[in-house]
Amino acid sequence: MYSKLISCLLVLIPSLSNGHELTPTYPKLRPSYIDGVLVTDMHMWNRREDAQYYEINVYDDEWNPIPFAATERIFQIDYLAHKELEIYIREKDEEKVEYICTTSKQLKEDVKSTGIKSMICSRVR
Amino acid sequence: MFKSIVTLGALLMATSAFAVDSPITGNVSSKCSVYTDTAGVYGNPNPDELSTLPADGGVMPIIRYDVTIADYYTAKLSWPNSFTSAPSLTDSLTWDGEIEVASTSDTGMAGYEAAKIEYENHTEYDLTVAGSTWFKVTSNVTYGVDKPLPGGEYKANVTAVCIAN
C-alpha cells in the first residue's frame, strides 16, 4: 500500500517540477552567410521556474572550450518560453567541435539551500 | 439512363468523400530533459556538520531525467564540493556525498544503480532505457575538527548533466 502511494506521488510530482530541454540531440553544421563560418540551430525550452538565465558553451571531445559566436552567450529565457539559438563556429574548428551545451545560471536569491545546476549537451557528428 | 447517372454520381461522391480523409502523423525525436523535482535543504545535525539526509533534518535534492529514446544519453550527476555562498570560513571543509537512483518509470532500469560509474564527486549512468529516472543526492560537509560552523546561510550546487552519446 505504502509503495503504491509513493509511486502515485512520483507520477504526480512531475507536473509540479521544473525542466530544462535542448534539441536537437545531434545538430548538423551548415555553411553560414559568412565565408569560413558554419552555423547550427538549437532549440531551448525552459521549464525551470527557478532558473531564467542559461549559458551556451561549445566543447571538443576533451571538454576544452571551442570559440564560437552567438547573439548572446548568457541569455534570459522566461519560464515556459522557447528560444531558437543560432551558434556560429569557424570552419577550421569543424572537426574539433563535439558538444554544444546549455547550462542553467541561477541568481543567488533563487537558491534556497542546495541549488541544482542543469546542463544539457547535444553532440555534433 | 437516369438511374445510371444517379449511380455514377453516387460513386463519384463516395470517392470524393475518401479524398478528404486526412491522416495525422507525428514524430518523437531523441530528447533529454532534466527536471528539478525537489530542491534540497541542509540540516544541521551537529554544530560542525551540514547534511541533506532526512535523518539529519535535511531534504535530499531529487532530480528527474526524461529520455524519449533509449541509448542516446548519459546522465552525469555531481554532489557539491564547495559552497556557492557561505559566511567567512577560516578552517577546512570535508565534503562527502552519494548519488543514487530513487525511482524509475520502467523495470528495465533496475540495473542502473549497479552499473553506475563513480569518480571524485561525479556519478555517471548510461540511460539505456527510454523513460524517467529519479536520482536522489546526499551531501554532507563537516567543518574543521569539532569546530562549530559560523552562523549564516550556506548554499551549494548539485550539477546534473545530460550528455548525448
Long-range contacts of B122-126 (CB under 8 A, 24+ apart): B122/B76, B122/B77, B122/B78, B123/B76, B123/B77, B123/B78, B123/B99, B124/B74, B124/B75, B124/B76, B125/B74, B125/B75, B125/B76, B125/B77, B125/B101, B126/B71, B126/B74
Residue B162's nearest CA partner among A24, A21, A52 is A21
Q: Is residue A86 part of a domain?
A: yes
Average of pLDDT values for A94-115?
85
> Which triple of cell numbers denotes residue B93?
571543509
B57 in Cβ contact with B40 (< 8 Å): no
Q: Is residue A103 part of a domain?
A: yes
A76 in Cβ contact with A20 (< 8 Å): no
Q: Band the pLDDT of A122: cuts 50, 70, 90.
A: very high
Which CATH number fits the domain that encloses residue A31?
2.60.40.10
Least confidently predicted of A16-25, A55-64, A82-91, B54-63? A16-25
B115 in Cβ contact with B126 (< 8 Å): yes
pTM of the model as a whole:
0.82
For the domain made up of B29-164, the CATH class stated in words is: mainly beta
Q: Kindly state whether A4 is in contact with chain B, defined as any CB-CB distance less than 8 angstroms.
A: no
- Please report residues of B whose CB lies closer than 8 A to that of A20: 33-35
Q: Kindly state whether B9 is in contact with chain A, defined as any CB-CB distance less than 8 angstroms.
A: no
> Which triple of cell numbers denotes residue B125?
549512468
C-alpha dist (Å) from residue B143 to A114, B29, B49, B87, B151: 17, 47, 6, 12, 13
Is there a contact between A118 and B32 if contact means CB atoms under 8 Å apart? no
CB count within 10 Å of CB B39 equals 18
> Which triple of cell numbers denotes residue A20?
530544462
- Across chain B, mean pLDDT equals 88
Q: Band the pLDDT of A111: cuts 50, 70, 90.
A: low
Q: Is the pLDDT of residue A103 over 60?
A: yes
Structural domain including A99 reads 17-123
- Please report residues of A whose CB lies closer than 8 A to that of B85: 108, 111
- The Cα B56–Cα B95 span in angstroms is 16
C-alpha dist (Å) from residue A60 to A67, A97, B54, B144: 10, 5, 40, 39
Q: Is residue A54 part of a domain?
A: yes
ipTM of the complex: 0.80
Higher per-residue pLDDT: B67 or A110:
B67
Domain extents in chain B: 29-164
CA B40 to chain CA centroid, nearest Å = 14
C-alpha dist (Å) from residue B8 to A91, B15, B94, B111, B163: 64, 11, 88, 65, 62
For the segment B38-87, what is each residue's pLDDT rounded down to a tens digit? 889 999 999 999 999 999 999 999 999 999 999 999 999 999 999 998 99
A52 in Cβ contact with A71 (< 8 Å): no
Closest CA–CA distance from residue A111 to any residue of chain B (Å):
7
Q: Kindly state whether A58 is in contact with chain B, defined as any CB-CB distance less than 8 angstroms.
A: no
Q: Is residue A110 part of a domain?
A: yes
Q: Is residue A12 part of a domain?
A: no
**Cα-flanking dihedrals φ and ψ of residue B141, to 5°?**
-140, 135
What per-residue string of b and e applies to A81-111 under the rule 16 or more CB within 10 Å gives b? eebebebbbbeebeebbbbbbbbbebeeeeb
At residue A12, the pLDDT reads 42
Q: Is the pLDDT of residue B91 over 70?
A: yes
For the segment B95-126, what is each residue's pLDDT rounded down to a tens digit? 999 999 999 999 999 999 999 999 999 999 99
Which residue from A24, A108, A118 is facing B34, i.e. has the nearest CB? A118
Q: Is residue A78 part of a domain?
A: yes
Q: Is residue A100 part of a domain?
A: yes
